[in-house]
Amino acid sequence: MSRKKPLPILEDILITDVAAEGKALARYNDMVVFVPFAVPGDIVDIQLCKKKKSYAEGKVIAYKKYSEVRCQPICSQFGTCGGCKWQHLPYSEQLKYKQQQVEDNLTRIGKIELPAIQPILGSKETEGYRNKLEFTFSNKAWLTYEALKTVDLTAPRNAVGFHIPGCFDKVLHIDKCHLQDDITNQIRNSIHAYCQENGISYYDLRAQQGMMRTLIVRNAMTTNQLMVIVVFAEKDESVWEGVLNHIATNFPQITSLLYILNQKCNDTIGDQEVMVYKGNDHIIETMEDLRFKVGPKSFYQTNTHQAYELYSVARNFAGLTGNELVYDLYTGTGTIANFVAKKARQVIGIEYVPEAIEDAKVNAELNGLDNLLFYAGDMKNILTNDFIAEHGKPDVIITDPPHAGMHEDVINVILNAAPKKIVYVSCNPATQARDLALLDAHYKVEAVQPVDMFPHTHHVENVVLLSLRDDELTNRPID
């Protein structure tokens, strides 16, 4: 039986740029080569792993010369853990490539007229900036090739940490993660030590059995309140009591200690009952004079301080005077809706997740706001011409869709409603650019402001202000 010819090794290749998904880019003859964990200016040998007509993917097997812009990663797990893939780039360089990513997407995909794009707003905190992390317990720890040589593979390999990319059943054990306040490391490591000492089983992702399943930690950066959620996969209340009592005793600063029994095939907790062991069933975050109730299932932007910058840009772009009817599409738990409500006549929020809408209503009540209305359902089914005819044509639409962007039906309804302004908040400039092209016939892009929410990753948020090209369109009746 014939075997495939092994792919070649490319020697002395100069890394020239950063490409999509955070990979580095090099060129070999007429072929583009994508490799992870390299930096522009590195000279490397690359083992090709996949080859197509116009591009290839590979991995660095030797560094011949390091780039002058390369820096030392802060995390000992860099290169193995699936997160923080840009730690070897100085933060100023990360921001440069994120700015370029926004500009490239809007010009190459959108192909529309653009104003000068504002310099990206960087995050003041580049470590400990996340307010939420989720860890997985596994009885099959991921081992490096070096560790495989020295470890007894017949012994238990319990780990609590992050999934290895591409290996759903393997988890990298984490001693210290720099993404959240260090109290998270202390709690996770203490739980791990307790479980090891008491022989408590970790979840087997293939066999779907084992006691300890996941751990979620949420810390409210503005109030210092702390939520810990332990997810068990087997029902044994004596074990639960031991684990939860250990946590409560050793970490009295926890204000919300919750637990869940999840025996289904996936880790999502949206459909699971949450039980309170100690404290409240929520924590509180604040933003200006607003208070937001954050429960175990609530969505809240994971970079608290940078979320304020993002929402401030959106509110400033909206330019509200107090007389406007605002539609807040994909409102989530109503954070933006609450944030702009005092400057609007009325805000109508629409969101797919019913639980999020319930949170949004609670937040509006918590903040004493009576000019907010919320509706739950699929956006393309809720936001219709009939809905607008019933609730009024919006003066401003703020939209913050998921990664996939807006459905074309939603865009058509927006065009028909013809608000004077659209503020488009996006976590994916590529799909945002596609949507802007669809809006371009009737709307002009007035301002673009990138915002970095996730240092050390390639992800970037972008806010775009659009204004109606022809004011006469505001007088069109709803079809």
Kindly list the catalytic residues: 427
- As given in the structure block, the two tokens for residue 450 are 């990138």
φ/ψ region of 434 (left if φ > 0, alpha if ψ in -120 to 50, else beta) reads alpha
Residue 240: how many CB atoms within 10 A of its CB?
18
- Strand 372-376, strand 290-294: pairing: unpaired
Residue 349 three-state SS: strand
Residue 374 three-state SS: strand
Q: Closest Cα partner for 413 from 389, 444, 440?
A: 389
- Rounded Cα distance, 422 and 399, in Å: 8
Q: Assign 3-class secondary structure to 115-184.
A: CCCCCCECCCCCCCCCCEEEEEEECEECCCHHHHCCCCCCCCECEEEEEECCEEEEEEECCCCCCCCHHH
272-303: b (≥16 Cβ within 10 Å) or e? beeeebbbeebbebebeebebbbbbbbebbbb
DSSP 281-327: S-EEEEETTEEEEE-TT----SSHHHHHHHHHHHHHHHT--S--EEE
